[in-house]
Structure 1
């Protein structure tokens, strides 16, 4: 094989930024090129296996790992290129091998993402869960729909979403108010589950409250959370939840389209439980646990 001038460092750095490991392939270090992505995927898989990628600190570990690996995949091949002198082309130093490597990595990343290895992230796009979740919050969710209980904040697909194209790629978030077998009564903003009445405590005026909403805590079965109410926008519910169904409501009771309007939520539609706020315009809320 013919000798060529040593690889240019800036070219190595550029291709390494485009796809991790491509720089190592370009300078002839096939072993590192093949080890980089599996190492990264394995770390993420372990984090996902223990459900750490649905936690705030898990995302921090993931971010540090990603940044560290990215730095290594850029700096290391540049150092190799600067010290190797003339370079003898290997059998894999062909444009089609680079393209194949690129496609393989993209497919691996897509499969990892599709299977939840990198966790599930959602952006809140409504005010229905105020004050717990604010419009624009970025939240994490696990993919666990087992052991659901009263008070859990869940991510779900709208019932019969497949019949309306507008709902197909949209996920919703609400709080579970009643589980299978529960009898729920909701009248004049008083919640009663299986004959047990919720207790309420009035709080100060909610921030940026221009709609005269009442800010209260609702407590039942040792579970407490904030809600927003409007005395002129109450609703009445009296029903028993069937098997494999759930009754959900938004914490902003005055501005939530939920089970009071469209009925029960099938368990099969639940994608997971909301876990942490990983970004918010209100920086004090970053890292806040959602289901406590």
Structure 2
């Protein structure tokens, strides 16, 4: 009997260190994963349309957080600067206080991060003008950007030109953006697409002293950023320039993409919406629309009124199970797309 108890005791003693060791290893792996995410390669999702068509609502992307700086894990404290952003880079950054809404913070685990494109470098003099341009969809106001680098006597521009729309806007979950006009701009050695619509509300509510119409000097160590969706981007035109130390990483690659159709669920066909616009594109009739849209997603004008930002978590979960999963599309052609 004593021998049996001794054997059991030895068995327990042998198992206990094994359990503790396994738990410690598991916790160590968790810490390493979050440290990797915090300082090397971060994963982000895109909740808004400010970077359409480059980044669409529902895109999931990896961000290279070591592209510009080496930072202490679990903090944003920079310990070594590797490189600086270049003209045209898509960057993630800590937004200035003036860019945040009530209740949002710059610091902490739930702090907000922005994704925009660098369009102005330190020392540039930036001039923004609104020019009417004749396009295939009519006459629109275009946010024409000119910049004068340090040492230059003349202003340069990014040579915008309209490009065929194709299917690029057929799967954007944004009613106004889906009927916009596509342009191509050249920055450095590469080109990228951007979007313009007929509305022009870009400079409303500017809260810093900058005369963009005559030329505004970007201070040393600061960058001007804008969204590729020029008429629906909360960016430097409204709240100022981004300090270099607040730039966290460079967008690298889209690893997954879902079109949830939260804002366009009432339309039968996304391509038709992009070609004809919201007033002419065919919508689901009253007998069928509730198969695709929750009533709260449609207002009296037939526009989407869904807002996940203020939606209770249980309501979001119910809406996802009953509606979003069944109407979503995976954007297979976007998976693996390198960002530039």
| Residues 264-286 of structure 1: CA deviation (Å, up to 9, x unaligned) | 01111111000000111311111
Q: Choose which of 176, 189, 193 in structure 2 pairs with 1:226.
A: 193
Q: How far apart are 1:232 and its partner, in Å?
A: 2.9
- Report the Cα distance in structure 2 between the residues aligned to 1:112 and 1:226, rounded to whole angstroms: 34
- Report the Cα distance in structure 2 between the residues aligned to 1:102 and 1:141, rounded to whole angstroms: 30
Contact in 1 for aligned 2:40/2:64 (Cα 8 Å) = no
Q: Which residue of 1 aligns with 2:335?
A: 286
1:200 and 2:200 aligned: no
Secondary structure in structure 2 of the residue aligned to 1:93: helix
Q: How far apart are 1:147 and its partner, in Å?
A: 2.5
Q: How far apart are 1:100 and its partner, in Å?
A: 5.5
Secondary structure in structure 2 of the residue aligned to 1:226: strand
What is the total number of aligned residue pairs between the two structures?
207
Distance 1:163 1:227, change over 3 A: closer
1:2 and 2:51 aligned: no
Q: Which residue of 2 aligns with 1:106?
A: 27
Q: Choose which of 152, 160, 184 in structure 1 pairs with 2:89.
A: 152
- Report the Cα distance in structure 2 between the residues aligned to 1:201 and 1:274, rounded to whole angstroms: 25
Secondary structure in structure 2 of the residue aligned to 1:228: strand
Gaps of 5+ in 1: 5-87
* TM-score, normalising length: structure 1: 0.63
Q: How far apart are 1:187 and its partner, in Å?
A: 0.9
Contact in 2 for aligned 1:125/1:136 (Cα 8 Å) = yes
Q: Which residue of 2 aligns with 1:166?
A: 104
Q: Choose which of 126, 139, 155 in structure 1 pairs with 2:48.
A: 126
Q: Max radius of gyration: which structure?
A: 1
Contact in 1 for aligned 2:94/2:248 (Cα 8 Å) = yes
* TM-score, normalising length: structure 2: 0.55
Q: Which residue of 2 aligns with 1:71?
A: none
Distance 1:93 1:235, change over 3 A: closer
Gaps of 5+ in 2: 1-5, 69-82, 131-142, 149-154, 204-211, 259-330
Q: Which residue of 1 aligns with 2:317?
A: none
Q: How far apart are 1:3 and its partner, in Å?
A: 6.9
